[in-house]
């Protein structure tokens, strides 16, 4: 997808990045841009020594982005390193550089994992095969959530969401995106203050969260890699794109995992999550209320981010109208 956030580089610059990571004799055998992403630019690179890598380059640091989008690649590197050390199926960080002296932005080389994104093959899977691979993803997230952070919120430079309680952190996260909506002139289906007041009315349920777990928060099917078996099943090979991660409530993970899908799938995902033996979540009324708060937050992000990406046109307008309807439905549940 085209986006103003993608900092494309020349072949000569790719060579310089490779030499920075792997020495002066390192040479690219072949490369191609991967166009499926929405935020970072990414390249598949085969080195002359047969190493298969994914290079990701962060957006220019001078670009006007959302308040929580500060140094996200550094968050992604932290996410992959901590998740990998805990046994979660994620790409290995082969080399990361945050000096910003070669192309003006952070970049990272990741080991390429086998498979394809689930959203590209899910229609080829049987219902049982799709349910099985979703259960595998839920089990992986249960392992991920055993990782504890030093505080709550986004681990970003100067982030006001970095707080000692989840209520304070999530409150700052919500306020940041509402402030972004005003700053960027985003039209929301309700007044910004009204949305904020309604969400804050339910923040009491956030006090149930007593540990800052590492949460991916972007595990839609495009970020779940699988290896189809040719008979309608598939095996999960990895969870990618960890730059949206924060430390907070594990319940928030299930927003993207069920994004735009039948809510009836939630009990099955929770069952697989609980069966993994790392943690336990019951869909109580308060847990569902927390899930509604986090769904509203994600819909707000998706509604506002288009202004920083340069996304325009009838298709985007149709998508934003649909987002507005979905957001109103969630806010109505909170009423």
Low-confidence ranges of the chain (pLDDT < 70): 1
| Per-residue pLDDT, 264 | 80
The answer as to whether 272 is a domain residue is yes
Do 100 and 242 lie in one domain? The reply is: no
Do 52 and 106 lie in one domain? The reply is: yes
For 300, half-sphere exposure in the C-beta direction (CA atoms, 13 angstrom radius) is 28
Contact, 86 vs 143, CB < 8 A?
yes
The answer as to whether 3 is a domain residue is no
Among 59, 89, 111, the domain boundary falls at 111
Do 125 and 270 lie in one domain? The reply is: yes
Among 111, 128, 160, the domain boundary falls at 111
Give the structural domain span for 51: 11-111
d(CA 302, CA 280): 29
Taken in order 207, 210, 214, 219, the sign of the CA dihedral is negative
The answer as to whether 154 is a domain residue is yes
Among 60, 88, 111, the domain boundary falls at 111
Tokens 């899930």 sit on residue: 291
| Per-residue pLDDT, 316 | 83
Do 279 and 317 lie in one domain? The reply is: yes
Q: Count Cβ atoms below 10 Å from residue 48 Cβ, excluding itself.
A: 13
d(CA 164, CA 38): 31
d(CA 164, CA 169): 8
* Sheet-wide strand order for 234-239: 116-117, 224-228, 234-239
The answer as to whether 5 is a domain residue is no
Tell me which H or E stretch contains 325.
helix 314-334
Do 205 and 88 lie in one domain? The reply is: no
Do 105 and 212 lie in one domain? The reply is: no
d(CA 256, CA 199): 19
The answer as to whether 6 is a domain residue is no
Contact, 68 vs 159, CB < 8 A?
yes
Q: What is the pLDDT of residues 128-164, one digit of tens each?
A: 999 999 999 999 999 999 999 999 999 988 899 999 9
| Per-residue pLDDT, 1 | 61
Q: What is the pLDDT of residues 160-201, one digit of tens each?
A: 999 999 999 999 999 999 999 999 999 999 999 999 999 999
Do 87 and 121 lie in one domain? The reply is: no
For residue 42, the 8-state DSSP code is: E
| Per-residue pLDDT, 158 | 85
d(CA 5, CA 35): 13
Residues in the chain: 335
Do 321 and 229 lie in one domain? The reply is: yes
Do 144 and 83 lie in one domain? The reply is: no
* Sheet-wide strand order for 28-34: 28-34, 41-47, 52-57, 107-111, 93-97
- Provide the CATH number for the domain around residue 34: 3.30.200.20
Q: What is the pTM of this model?
A: 0.95
- Using alpha carbons, list the distances in angstroms from residue 228 to 120, 130, 224: 11, 10, 12
Do 198 and 290 lie in one domain? The reply is: yes
How does DSSP assign 92-128, residue by residue? -EEEEE----SSSS-EEEEEPPSSEEHHHHGGGS-HH
- Give φ, ψ of 189 to 5 degrees: -75, -10
Do 185 and 265 lie in one domain? The reply is: yes
d(CA 251, CA 266): 11
The answer as to whether 1 is a domain residue is no
Burial zone of 289 (CB within 10 Å; 0-12 exposed, 13-18 middle, 19+ buried): middle
| Per-residue pLDDT, 50 | 87
- Provide the CATH number for the domain around residue 264: 3.90.1200.10
The answer as to whether 211 is a domain residue is yes
The total number of structural domains in the chain stands at 2
**Tokens standing for residue 332:** 């109505």
Do 121 and 135 lie in one domain? The reply is: yes
Report the DSSP beta bridge partners of residue 55: 43, 109
The answer as to whether 280 is a domain residue is yes
């Amino acid at each position: 997808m085209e986006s103003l956030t993608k900092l494309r580089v020349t072949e000569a610059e790719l060579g310089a990045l490779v030499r920075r990571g792997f020495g002066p004799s390192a040479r690219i055998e072949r490369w191609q841009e991967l166009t499926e992403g929405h935020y970072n630019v990414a390249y598949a690179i085969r080195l002359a020594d047969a190493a298969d890598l994914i290079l990701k380059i962060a957006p220019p640091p001078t670009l006007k982005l959302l308040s929580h989008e500060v140094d996200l690649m550094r968050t992604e590197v932290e996410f992959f390193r901590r998740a990998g050390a805990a046994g979660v199926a994620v790409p290995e960080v082969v080399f990361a550089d945050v000096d910003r002296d070669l192309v003006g932005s952070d970049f990272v080389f990741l080991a390429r994992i086998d498979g394809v994104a689930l959203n590209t093959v899910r229609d080829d899977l049987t219902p049982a095969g799709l349910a099985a691979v979703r259960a595998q993803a839920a089990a992986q997230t249960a392992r991920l959530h055993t990782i504890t952070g030093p505080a709550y919120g986004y681990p970003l430079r100067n982030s006001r969401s970095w707080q000692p309680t989840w209520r304070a952190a999530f409150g700052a996260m919500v306020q940041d995106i509402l402030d972004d909506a005003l700053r960027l002139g985003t039209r929301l289906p309700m007044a910004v203050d009204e949305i904020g007041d309604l969400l804050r009315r339910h923040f009491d349920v956030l006090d149930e969260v007593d540990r800052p777990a590492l949460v991916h928060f972007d595990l839609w099917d495009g970020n779940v890699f699988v290896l189809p078996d040719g008979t309608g099943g598939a095996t999960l090979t990895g969870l990618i794109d960890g730059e949206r991660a924060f430390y907070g409530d594990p319940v928030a993970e299930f927003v993207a995992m069920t994004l735009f899908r039948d809510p009836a799938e939630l009990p099955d995902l929770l069952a697989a999550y609980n069966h993994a033996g790392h943690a336990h979540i019951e869909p109580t009324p308060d847990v569902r209320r927390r899930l509604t708060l986090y769904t509203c937050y994600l819909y707000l992000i998706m509604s506002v981010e288009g202004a920083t990406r340069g996304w325009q046109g009838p298709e985007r307008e149709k998508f934003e109208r649909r987002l507005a309807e979905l957001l109103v439905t969630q806010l109505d549940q909170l009423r």
